[in-house]
């Protein structure tokens, strides 16, 4: 079966090795040499480009998830519960 790209086994190995490091790469936590090698590979490899971009987007979604307000009445309930605490602080 033919595929729509020109990888051979060595490249495949490089892809798999890179797959493990993608998050570190995105987070800027790889050392400079590794970072350069990864960038060079990705620029030449459409599979890894897709892999990188979909992972980045996954992170992007997580970062954009909005907070919800606390339920009505909860703040009041919480403060009442905390008022019942003994004054344990200054000892």
Partner 1 sequence: MERKPIQTPDVRDNDTELVTAIQNGATDRFEELVTRYEGKLYNFGLRVCKDASDSEDLVQETFINIFRYLKDFRQETKFKNWMYRIATGVCHRMRRRSKYAPERELSLDEFLPQDLADIDTELPAWAAMPIHQVLNRELGDHLKASVKELPPQYRLVLVLRDMEGFSTDEASEILGITPTNVKVRLHRARLFLREELKGYFHDNQPHTS
Among the listed residues 10, 38, 68, 72, the single contact to partner 1 using CB under 8 A: 68
Binding status of residue 52 toward Zn ion by CB under 5 A: no
Structure tokens, 42 = 């990705």
Question: Is the CB of 30 or the CB of 48 nearer to Zn ion?
Answer: 48
Among the listed residues 1, 15, 86, 88, the single contact to Zn ion using CB under 5 A: 15
Using CB under 5 A as the criterion, which residues of the chain lie in contact with Zn ion when the complex forms?
15, 45, 47-48
């Amino acid at each position: 079966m033919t595929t729509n790209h020109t990888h051979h086994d060595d490249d495949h190995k490089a892809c798999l090795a890179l797959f493990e490091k993608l998050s570190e790469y995105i987070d800027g936590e790889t050392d400079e040499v590794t970072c350069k090698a990864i960038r060079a590979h990705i620029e030449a490899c459409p599979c890894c480009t897709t892999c990188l971009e979909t992972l980045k987007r996954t992170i992007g979604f997580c970062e954009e998830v909005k907070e919800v307000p606390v339920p009505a009445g909860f703040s009041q309930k919480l403060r009442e519960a905390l008022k019942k605490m003994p004054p344990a602080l200054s000892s």
